Amino acid sequence: MADTGVKMKKPFGDAVFDTVNTVFWIIVLVVVIYPLWFIIIASVSDPDAVTAGKVFLWPVDFSLIGYEAVFGHRELLRSYLNSIYYTLTGTALSVIVTMMAAYALSRKFSGRKLVNFIFVFTMFFSGGLIPQFLMNKRLGLYDTVTLMIIINCVSVWNLMVARTYISMNIPDELYEAAIIDGASHFTYFINAVLPLSGTIIAVLCVYYGVARWNDYFTALVYIRDRSKLPLQTILREAVAMLTTSTSTDAFFSAYEGDTKGMTEAIRKALVAKYCSIVISTVPAVVLYILMQKYFVKGVMLGSLKG
């Protein structure tokens, strides 16, 4: 049919809906984005301006006093490197184990339903922190780097998403052809499943990477050697020290007669929390940006029941 160049006029009801829908999502976007923007501008603003409520859209009286206070913590750089190491190695291990388990559960074998049930059961019931702590201590993993890498290695939810992705997007005919050609399960997994699962692997990297990067509780419970602590634990301690020390008797005693020093310490504490949020979230945001084109597709394809 030839194009007449005549555009169909949108019905009034549709036009109203589109307008309302657009305005609604713009409001939602502002509500979500503004707190993040405020954290960034508050972290580089003068503490007095932040306290007075003068910081709204742009930094006021640009200042790096908060970053100086946080980076002045002597253990920060080492903990940053520790977090990078734990995140990279832990995420790699988690993705490998998850994909191997997902492939196994996507195959048809006797007792498959029972094995799936056992995995899913752990999503709703667990032994709790104390039994887990005692078990890891008996295994000799207490206060070790190995524990920081292998603990919480597999998320059952991620495993189910990966299993569904493999079942839906890699045809059984490909597996049958590989078996006829003499390929083993391992050969088929390496040469066929992994190359065709790039999307879900990227999604798993985001899920596991962000979880590993943000984990402070594991080190809080299991690590006593301060040289092994990750960034999140150190930041938590630094912010807690800066904020709580300003309200203790020891703080006032330390700055007795030094009003200027006391004021400066309080000003640092006011913005240090914003600076710590920026420092700790930048890697996670970068990871999301790099994996964005795979993220939505992988989640949707992997979450649909085949």
**Phi, psi (rounded to 5 degrees) for 8:** -70, 130
Tell me the domains of the chain and their CATH numbers: 76-228+284-303 (1.10.3720.10)
Q: Indicate the SS3 state at residue 252.
A: helix
Alpha helices in the chain (DSSP H): 12-43, 47-51, 65-71, 76-106, 112-124, 129-138, 145-150, 156-169, 172-180, 185-188, 198-214, 217-222, 231-244, 249-254, 259-290, 292-303
The chain-wide mean pLDDT, for the chain, equals: 81
Residue of higher predicted confidence among 305 and 105: 105
pLDDT at res. 260:
59
pTM of the predicted model as reported, rounded to 2 decimal places: 0.73
Q: Is the pLDDT of residue 222 over 70?
A: yes
Question: Whole-angstrom Cα distance, residue 275 to residue 84?
Answer: 19
Phi-psi region of 50 (alpha: psi -120 to 50; beta: other; left: phi over 0): alpha
CA Rg value for the chain: 26
Token pair listed for 28: 């939602």
**How many CB atoms sit inside 10 A of residue 168's CB?**
14
User: What's the rounded Cα separation, in Å, for the pair 62 and 55?
Assistant: 11
The DSSP string of 221-232 is HH---GGG--HH
Rounded Cα gap, residues 257 and 246, in angstroms: 15
**Burial profile 210-248: b = 16 or more Cβ within 10 angstroms, e = fewer:** bbbbbbbebbeebbeeeebbbbbbbbbbbbeebeeebee
Separation between Cα atoms, residue 91 and residue 85, nearest integer Å = 10
Query: CA 175, CA 188: separation in Å to the nearest integer?
Result: 7
Using a pLDDT cut of 90, give the percent of the chain over it. Answer: 20
**CA 44/CA 66 separation, integer angstroms:** 8
pLDDT band at residue 297 using 50, 70 and 90 as cut-offs: low
The average pLDDT across 102-128 equals 87
Q: According to the model, what pLDDT value does residue 306 have? A: 45
Cα distance between residue 147 and residue 181, in whole Å: 41
Averaged pLDDT for residues 235-241: 71
> What is the mean predicted confidence (pLDDT) over 148-154?
91
**pLDDT tier for residue 79 given thresholds of 50, 70 and 90:** confident
Contact in structure between 106 and 271 (CB atoms under 8 Å): no
Q: Is the pLDDT of residue 95 over 90?
A: yes
Instruction: Give the mean pLDDT of 1-29.
Output: 76
Tokens in use for 23? 């305005």
Work out the average pLDDT over 58-87: 83
From the list 48, 77, 82, 78, the residue with the least C-alpha distance to 62 is 48
Q: CA torsion sign, 224 to 227 to 231 to 236?
A: positive
Mean of the pLDDT values across residues 278-285? 80
